[in-house]
Amino acid sequence: MVELEIGQDGAIAAVRGNLDELLDFAPDEIRGVPSAFLHPQITEAGLHTLWVRRRNGDRALLHAFSIPHDTHTQVYLAHVFEQDTIQVKLAYQSALFRGLAFAAEYGDPELLNHLSRVERYTIWIAEEALRWEQPDVSRITLAAYVHDVGKSAIPREILYKPAKLTPEEYKLVQTHTQKGRDVLEEVESYIQQENAWLYDEKSWQWAKEVALHHHENWDGTGYPTGAAGEEIPLVARVVKLVDVLDALLEARPYKEGWPPEQVKREIDQKKGVEFDPHLAEWLLAQDWAFVQNIATGKKG
């Protein structure tokens, strides 16, 4: 909690508490500044929930409790969400990304099942293979959700064509990677302008990396940039592996699902070619009965 003492002239006379953590201002920067600079209603008596100005111009949602005195006004400021800020931000990103993913491929009857499986695989690898902390597990899971968001810019008659694509059609489908990155950049800019307090930079960076790079190959033969090895962002390498894993195991209108042994042989043959060899080796070493349980949403 931070306490401000505001004089009768409306200027901030004293600061007590960690203002730097709350609003990114050093106390010396804010002393003598009109309190209305932070918010025009900050000195109104009583308890209010206000969007208070931060040093960079963004707004923070704070509780403000103001107590008028004869010579000054005391104002107590505290975060609305306290330690839950990152969870609130990630929940907001989750709602956005899930909506974008659904809209991008609306009409695909298998979409939600596919995204649910990709989500479970991604969480498993992030937690067990990479040993990431929970916020980053959530971030890569959100990025996996929007890996194909660029398909919103591809004609449906091509996406769901029941026959083999022509070379021209295949080239058009390949552009979904750049278009996905572009879609996310556009939405991101809107969030930064309109809801900056809920913006999580790392979530958007990872989502853009996954959208652009999830068809790159370890040996540099993928698209759209031809990046190779560790030039490919790790988050994109993870999502590529889980996306292909699900595509091979699950039946599609145009193919049967492959048995686990056949999937394992395919991944083994393409480790170090298409797939990150370290991630592929880890996956191949797992109990594949457990892999199938993950696919079906079973525990253990």
Residues near 86 by Cβ (< 8 Å), separated by ≥ 6? 135, 200
Half-sphere exposure of 250 (CA within 13 A, CB side): 20
Active site residue 151: yes
Among 151, 179, 208, 271, the active-site one is 151
Pairing between β-strand 12-16 and β-strand 59-68 as defined by DSSP bridges: unpaired
Which residues share a beta bridge with 49?
Answer: 63
Supply the DSSP symbol for 259. Answer: P
Q: Which residue bears the tokens 């079906």?
A: 296
At 224, which amino acid appears? Answer: P
100-to-111, 142, 175 alpha-carbon distances in Å: 12, 11, 18
Element spanning 292, H or E = helix 288-296
Main-chain dihedrals φ then ψ at residue 58, nearest 5 degrees: -70, 175
> CA angle, corner 60, sides to 57 and 62, nearest 5?
140
Residues near 169 by Cβ (< 8 Å), separated by ≥ 6? 158, 161
Q: Which residues are catalytic?
A: 151
